[in-house]
């Protein structure tokens, strides 16, 4: 399978899922590669949908795609809430009021999103990017372990070559748009910590793609483009020098 460049492909949110499935289908059709059975190219899907909801979603959305192309369990990370629920978590200052979450506008969110039901992430992040971003941080240990595991397997084929880390999603929702920059930063942290060599490449569809859906907000795409501001100013100008992984990932 030397024709395929060893790569890690990460999908975030519903659009990420679609792109991963279609890419797996193309790999199979073009190269006869069952993507889940090779270590040269690895897939990882991050979504807030609970595993049950995700299975239902696959059934509803993927009638034309056969099982071999579908994202399988080993490739899916469910970004779960804390045991007490996100809504209750956000009422405990000891949990949310810490420097790591200084970007989290709990004050605004509690004022405008008052229903407990909308804070339940298992159906998605309700197009709220801060919900998607928080879902990433709730599960950062799981995500980092999966990314490192997959990069280590790919490295056996890539040798010393830089491994592209593709990050696919949309700017139209909450899950993918909320965590895209953090996923890229985490890949860089893992590179430093575990001596991988990675290059991030992000591909995000704009909200116009979903303009036929009543819930889509074009303003989302515009404000989502401000996501790059999560990078420290120096990193935007020069090469990124991330902090040590253990300083970013909370102890269990």
Ligand X SMILES: Nc1nc2c(ncn2[C@@H]2O[C@H](COP(=O)(O)OP(=O)(O)OP(=O)(O)O)[C@@H](O)[C@H]2O)c(=O)[nH]1
Q: Which of 121, 133, 119 is nearest to 87 (CA)?
A: 119
Verify binding: residue 14, Mg ion, rule CB under 5 A: yes
80-139 binders of ligand X (CB under 6 A): 124-127, 132
Residues ≥6 apart with Cβ < 8 Å to 145 = none
221 binds ligand X, rule: CB under 6 A: no
N-terminal to C-terminal alpha carbon distance within the chain = 39
Nearest approach, Cβ of 246 to ligand X (angstroms)?
29
Among 130, 157, 167, 173, binds ligand X (CB under 6 A): 173
124 binds Mg ion, rule: CB under 5 A: yes
Tell me the site size for Mg ion, rule CB under 5 A: 4
Rounded CA separation 132/138 (Å): 10
Examine residue 6 and tell whether it contacts ligand X (CB under 6 A): no
In contact, 198 and 188? CB cutoff 8 Å: yes
Span near ligand X by CB under 6 A; candidates 32-40, 159-167, 210-218, 238-246: 210-218
Q: Tell me the C-alpha distance between 153 and 37, whole Å.
A: 12
Judged by CB under 6 A, how many residues of this single chain contact ligand X? 20
Interatomic CA distance for residues 234 and 230, integer angstroms: 11
Residues engaged in binding ligand X (CB under 6 A): 13-15, 48, 124-127, 132, 169-170, 172-176, 210, 213, 215-216
């Amino acid at each position: 399978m030397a024709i395929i460049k060893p790569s890690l492909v990460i999908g975030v949110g519903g659009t990420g899922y679609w792109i991963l499935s279609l890419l797996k289908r193309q790999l199979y059709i073009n190269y006869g590669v069952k993507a889940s059975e090779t270590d040269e190219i690895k897939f990882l899907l991050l979504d807030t949908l609970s595993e049950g909801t995700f299975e239902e979603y696959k059934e509803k959305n993927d009638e034309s795609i056969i099982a071999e192309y579908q994202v399988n369990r080993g490739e899916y990370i469910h970004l779960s809430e804390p045991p007490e629920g996100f809504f209750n978590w956000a009422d405990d200052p000891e949990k949310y009021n810490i420097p790591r979450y200084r970007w989290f506008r709990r004050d605004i969110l509690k004022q405008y999103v008052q229903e407990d039901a909308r804070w339940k992430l298992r159906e998605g992040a309700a197009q709220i990017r801060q919900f998607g971003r928080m879902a990433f941080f709730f599960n950062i240990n799981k995500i980092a372990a999966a990314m490192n595991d997959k990069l280590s397997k790919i490295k056996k084929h890539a040798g010393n070559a830089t491994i592209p880390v593709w990050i696919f999603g949309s700017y139209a929702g909450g899950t993918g748009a909320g965590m895209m920059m953090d996923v890229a930063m985490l890949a860089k942290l893992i590179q430093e910590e575990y001596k991988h060599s990675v290059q991030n490449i992000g591909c995000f569809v704009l909200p116009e793609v979903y303009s036929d859906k009543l819930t889509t907000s074009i303003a989302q795409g515009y404000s989502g483009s401000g996501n790059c501001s999560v990078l420290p100013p120096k990193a935007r100008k020069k090469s990124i020098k991330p902090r040590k992984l253990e300083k970013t990932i909370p102890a269990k």
